[in-house]
Amino acid sequence: MRIHKYAAIDIGSNGVRLLIANVIVFKKKETQFKKSSLVRVPIRLGADVFTTGFISENNKIRICDAIQAFELLMKVHGVEKYKACATSAMREAKNGNEIAESILNKTGIKIDIIDGKTEAEIISSTDLSELIQSDKSYLYVDVGGGSTEFTFFSEGKLINSKSFPLGTVRLINNNVDENIWNDVKKWVKNNSEDLPNLSLIGSGGNINKIFKMSGKAEGKPLSYIYLSSYFNFLNQMTYNQRISELDLNPDRADVIIPASKIYLKAMKWSAANKIYVPKIGLSDGIIKSLYLGKFES
């Protein structure tokens, strides 16, 4: 048995995350990926980019400080390999490459600004083997601040995958055109019409929070009826009430509503009546891709 320590940095539109994982390699058993540490910093880059086109000077300083802190944490943990990926906000920011260069010079951490297709591919490489049954079909929906990745699986195989500029931070800032919703609806309907008895798999901080608050046992799905009623419940509360009464973080209390809307729309358009919520996302995909040698650290 060999134990390696890998790390993933995910620079999203609503927050920045560092995941450190133990990769346990056995001689005669399947490799295990176990989370060792997860740190999230609520830097909302999308609030800048989706309204002005630039990352502000204040957030530039904050993101550099966060990556510098992550570099020290990786050093303390003894991380062997890491990969840092930036998604929707950084790739759309007119000063995104300039900030990535600044971070490299200050911290030595290289940021890869990935496109939507690459993001979807990394997310879909996460370990879903325990969840995906070979005789059933699934739509994997990963909702972020700036984009949502949709991936169809059927008979244990990836069928189709696409990223759309539909995210929670965009929605709360009214930066999503109705045509985007129509494009997503058409794509989901077209790809699900020949996949009966389809279920959703949801990933992202918001659906994880809803699942946690539901009290459901791990591995059990949420129903469309439950998610719809919870969406209405959240909608009837004020922002302050969602913080004080539901104990939501301020940067979660606003985006949880548009996130719920995206999952509900995806369920409706794909005719899915339940959603599974495993604790996986882009960071987990980066760790697995590092192990498989899909990209160098």
Do domains 2-115+283-291 and 128-279 share one topology? The answer is yes
Residue 158, CB-side half-sphere exposure with 13 Å CA sphere:
16
Q: Supply the pLDDT for residue 196.
A: 82
Q: Centre a 10 Å sphere on the Cβ of residue 47 and count the other Cβ atoms it contains.
A: 21
Residue 296 pLDDT greater than 70, yes or no: no
Q: Supply the pLDDT for residue 157.
A: 83
Q: Supply the pLDDT for residue 125.
A: 73
Mean of the per-residue pLDDT values for the chain?
Answer: 92
Q: Supply the pLDDT for residue 118.
A: 86
Structure confidence by residue, pLDDT tens digits, 142-199: 999 999 999 998 887 888 989 999 999 999 999 999 999 999 999 999 999 999 889 9
Per-residue DSSP letters for 270-297?
A: HT--EEE--S--HHHHHHHHHHTTSS--
Residue type, 200: L
148-154 and 137-143 strand pairing: antiparallel
Q: Supply the pLDDT for residue 119.
A: 84
Q: Supply the pLDDT for residue 99.
A: 96
Rounded-to-integer distance, Cα 3 and Cα 262, Å: 38
Helix (H), strand (E) at residue 25: strand 16-25
- Contacts of residue 235, defined as CB under 8 A and 6 or more positions apart, other chains included, come to 257
Q: Supply the pLDDT for residue 30.
A: 85
User: For 33, phi and psi rounded to 5 degrees?
Assistant: -120, 110
DSSP alpha helices (H): ranges in 126-278? 168-172, 178-192, 205-214, 224-235, 239-244, 250-253, 256-270
HEC sequence for 81-106 = EEEEEECHHHHHCCCHHHHHHHHHHH
Return the minimum-mean-pLDDT range out of 73-87, 111-125, 197-211, 233-247.
Answer: 111-125
Confidence of residue 14 (pLDDT cuts 50, 70, 90): very high
Backbone dihedral region for residue 215 (phi beyond 0: left; psi -120 to 50: alpha; all else: beta)? left
Helix (H), strand (E) at residue 225: helix 224-235
Q: Supply the pLDDT for residue 116.
A: 81
Return the minimum-mean-pLDDT range out of 58-67, 83-92, 282-291.
Answer: 282-291
CATH number of 2-115+283-291: 3.30.420.40
Q: Supply the pLDDT for residue 295.
A: 64
pLDDT above 70: percentage of residues in the chain: 96
Domain boundaries, the chain: 2-115+283-291, 128-279
Cα 235 to the chain's mean position, in Å?
23
Q: Supply the pLDDT for residue 221.
A: 94
Rounded-to-integer distance, Cα 215 and Cα 28, Å: 36
Residue 297 pLDDT greater than 60, yes or no: no
Structure confidence by residue, pLDDT tens digits, 232-258: 999 999 999 999 999 999 999 999 999
Q: Supply the pLDDT for residue 138.
A: 93
Rounded-to-integer distance, Cα 46 and Cα 167, Å: 9
Residue 114 pLDDT greater than 70, yes or no: yes
Confidence of residue 129 (pLDDT cuts 50, 70, 90): low
Rounded-to-integer distance, Cα 259 and Cα 267, Å: 13
Q: Supply the pLDDT for residue 78.
A: 96
Q: Which residue has the higher pLDDT, 62 or 134?
A: 62
Q: Give the CATH superfamily of 128-279.
A: Exopolyphosphatase. Domain 2 (3.30.420.150)
Q: Supply the pLDDT for residue 40.
A: 95
Confidence of residue 128 (pLDDT cuts 50, 70, 90): low
State both tokens at 280.
Answer: 């996986």
pLDDT above 90: percentage of residues in the chain: 77
Rounded-to-integer distance, Cα 126 and Cα 139, Å: 14
Rounded-to-integer distance, Cα 226 and Cα 25, Å: 39
